[in-house]
Amino acid sequence: MRTARVPAGADPLDARIQAALTAQDWPLLVRLCRQALRKSGRHLRAHRLLGYALNKQRDTDAALAAYRQAAALWPDDVDLLSLYTDVLIEHTRHSEAVPLLEKACALAPGNAVGWIKLAHCYYEARQNEQGFAAAQKAAKLAKNVDQQVGALTQMAIHRRELGQVREAVQDCESAIRLNPQHMGNHTNRLLFMLADPTVDAQQQAAAAGEFAAVIEPALRPHWPDFAAQRTGPWRRLRIGFLSPDFRTHAVMYFLEGLLAQLDRRQFEVWAFYLYPRDDAVTGRVQRHADHFVRLAGLSPDEQAQAIRAQGIDILIDLAGHTSYNGLLAMARKAAPVQVSWLGYPATTGLTAVDYKFTDEITDPPGADSQYSERLYRLPTLFCCYRPMSREPLWRYQPAYQPRPTPALQNGYVTFGSCNNLGKLTDDVLRLWGRVQASVPGSRLLIEGKNLGEAAFAAAYRQRCAGLGIDVERLELVALDSANQYLTYHRIDIALDPFPLTGGTTSFDLLWMGVPLVSMNGLSFKSRMGTGLLTYLGRTEWLAHDADAYVRIAGTLAADLQQLNTVRLGLRREVEQSALMREDLFCHHFGEGLRLMWLQWLAQGPHPRDAEAQSRLIESWLPDLPAEWSQPPSPGVGLAPGQRVSLPGAHQRLQSLLDKAKLQRPSVTLTGGRIEHRCWIEVTEMAELILTAVPHDPVALACLAEVEHAHGHTDFALTYLRHAQQALNAPA
């Protein structure tokens, strides 16, 4: 931070405050600031630095309380507002920072840094028009390279959300030329390139290689050899998952089942968390994992050291080139075997990352040259989906069950997309216009960020009209997380964008019963729909060119009764397919981890002899523990580090239910609300089990008892129906 020189003749306490700041002695600085404030409650310098020092001690609540008090006394002090908003931004409290930064920019309109910070907070608040304008102001005011880079960074992220993908990539490239060491612009460039239709997989890989060339050369000589860990081909391995997304995030739709049920006979699971805030999903991750370690706020060196301190054997990156990622820790070789998976559909570019989990459809033979990592192709889809991550019990509610195709009531077919608008390129919208024209009377529904803003929506309509879409039959829907899954009740047939196809959205809509028309592609980012539909057994919805895309959409729309039959049966197809078979996925994923470990061990004595490595691995196979041939028993995490068997969890749940039944609720007095703590504990325990073992019939039956006791007969019957279906499901 900037520090003002203490003037001659000033209060000696000011000099001591300055000395403590210079020495970075945060406890002393806190004491001195509080001493100064006791002498004078309006001591400006003490107000500026007390929150700063408290935050350095990781006492976030106290730091923010100190700044709130200071801002009330000194509302127009720009330096104080700047320090205050720095803490808010560090702890992802961007909405609170926006009005403070708007005031700071009004007070000091010539300060580029203030506009850069405001643009950043506007991005987190999804105010992209305002953010782009703030970034443009910063660019005009920038006085040095750092400020120029900061302005370009903010311009790029807002351009991407406004659909200007190519321009966003160009802004990142301009920033990288100014400062190649700024990692955020490498990450943004690689992320934005995914949606640029002019960029192919080889160009994407080359850009990732440029990122690695900046990072790795200085680090590689310092990689540990991990010699102490070269023991035991069949020992229990320490597996670390590294992610900023152990929270309400798309990654959790594919990770939670694996965290909960990865074979604990073979593996001990760590979750290394990179994001500075928690939510309810974070709490579930803490229960699923055997160990939970927070890394937010640490430098990459500190993150790598913290991971090594746990003796992790295999570290799995779940973010790739996305926000708050841990690639700089991976580049320091935090574990002997490092793997990329899930969060980013392309190569990291790092030679420090040894493998990437994928499958033989999404990454077909010949795709290996697109990666710096060695591909490990699972014999199933590269991930396994679990819906309703934010509210697991809503999975069983009537509002989220598939409904008849809306065309039966509407009298017209609605095509639709709920993907990120950045994926909807001109080529995509132009083809969707052809689809709309091929089905008389059909409508096109597009859901996305910023479509609730009149000016943005009007501009988007104008763009669509210029690309051949009949805007009289176009419905633009503002993105609202409360409507997740519910918007699909309004769509008959989903249209997948290209070349960057849908990910989580595609799983969501298929689970809700909506058929998906997808375009085959040449690389992972353009083949996610290919993988989903192939492993689902619905390749007839997969197009190989634009004409086939239009034809498939028209065929689906031509027979509404058949479309309705498909819709009402699709959820069962999805849940019984590789898309949602968590038991199979956990087994194959565990096999992959073990093979990676065996290969690393074998490389020790035979670093460049593949045949000798194979012979050594074969010599270990007779010692494979026989009990591993049987499926592991499901477990349930009750609390961080406390895991019990599923029967043990059932016993606890039954005990809670028996206790609750002694407290018979008065439905007339409570209005049916579940208020007594005993009944709440039953609900919480049942949900805990269902987040570990979906469709567990015992937990569902207990929830039925809770609802019945509170007069909710419909919900009780719904839970009982799901429990019965679970009991009758094929093994």
Sign of the torsion formed by the C-alpha atoms of 518, 524, 528 and 534: positive
Cα 39 to Cα 35, 45, 50, 612, distances in angstroms: 7, 13, 14, 76
pLDDT per residue as tens digits for the range 652-703: 999 999 999 998 776 655 667 888 899 999 999 999 999 999 999 999 999 9
Q: Any idea what DSSP says for residue 291? A: E
Band of residue 10 on the pLDDT scale cut at 50, 70, 90: low
Q: Where are the beta strands (DSSP E) in 459-508?
A: 474-478, 493-495
Give the three-class secondary structure for 446.
Answer: strand
What is the C-alpha separation between 415 and 440, in angstroms, rounded?
A: 12
Q: Cβ distance 446 to 474 under 8 Å?
A: yes
Band of residue 211 on the pLDDT scale cut at 50, 70, 90: very high
Question: What percentage of the chain exceeds 70 in pLDDT?
Answer: 98
Band of residue 41 on the pLDDT scale cut at 50, 70, 90: very high
pLDDT per residue as tens digits for the range 606-650: 999 999 999 999 999 999 999 999 999 999 999 888 999 999 999
pTM for the whole structure: 0.91
**What pLDDT is recorded for position 126?**
84
Q: Do the bridges between strand 374-378 and strand 267-273 make them parallel or antiparallel, or are there none, so unpaired?
A: unpaired
**What pLDDT is recorded for position 16?**
93
**What pLDDT is recorded for position 731?**
62
Estimate to the nearest angstrom the gap between the alpha carbon of 126 and the chain centroid. 17
Q: Any idea what DSSP says for residue 11? A: -
Please provide the average confidence, as pLDDT, over all residues in the chain: 95
Does the pLDDT of residue 140 top 90, yes or no?
yes
What is the C-alpha separation between 428 and 448, in angstroms, rounded?
A: 15
**What pLDDT is recorded for position 4?**
52
What is the C-alpha separation between 517 and 515, in angstroms, rounded?
A: 7
Please report the domains of the chain, with CATH numbers, ordered by start residue: 12-211 (1.25.40.10), 212-384+581-632 (3.40.50.11380), 395-575 (3.40.50.2000), 641-728 (no CATH)
Give the three-class secondary structure for 688.
Answer: helix
pLDDT per residue as tens digits for the range 509-554: 999 999 999 999 999 999 999 999 999 999 999 999 999 999 999 9
**What pLDDT is recorded for position 94?**
95
Does the pLDDT of residue 441 top 80, yes or no?
yes
Q: In the predicted model, what is the mean pLDDT of residues 712-730?
A: 91
**What pLDDT is recorded for position 557?**
98
Q: In the predicted model, what is the mean pLDDT of residues 189-209?
A: 93
What is the C-alpha separation between 544 and 547, in angstroms, rounded?
A: 8
**What pLDDT is recorded for position 619?**
97
Q: In the predicted model, what is the mean pLDDT of residues 144-167?
A: 94
Q: Cβ distance 241 to 255 under 8 Å?
A: yes
Contacts of 28 (CB under 8 A, 6+ apart): 20
Does the pLDDT of residue 7 top 90, yes or no?
no
Q: Where are the beta strands (DSSP E) in 422-566?
A: 443-448, 474-478, 493-495, 516-519, 542-543
269 phi and psi angles, rounded to 5 deg: -110, 130
**What pLDDT is recorded for position 1?**
61
pLDDT per residue as tens digits for the range 63-106: 999 999 999 999 999 999 999 999 999 999 999 999 999 999 99
Q: In the predicted model, what is the mean pLDDT of residues 161-186?
A: 94
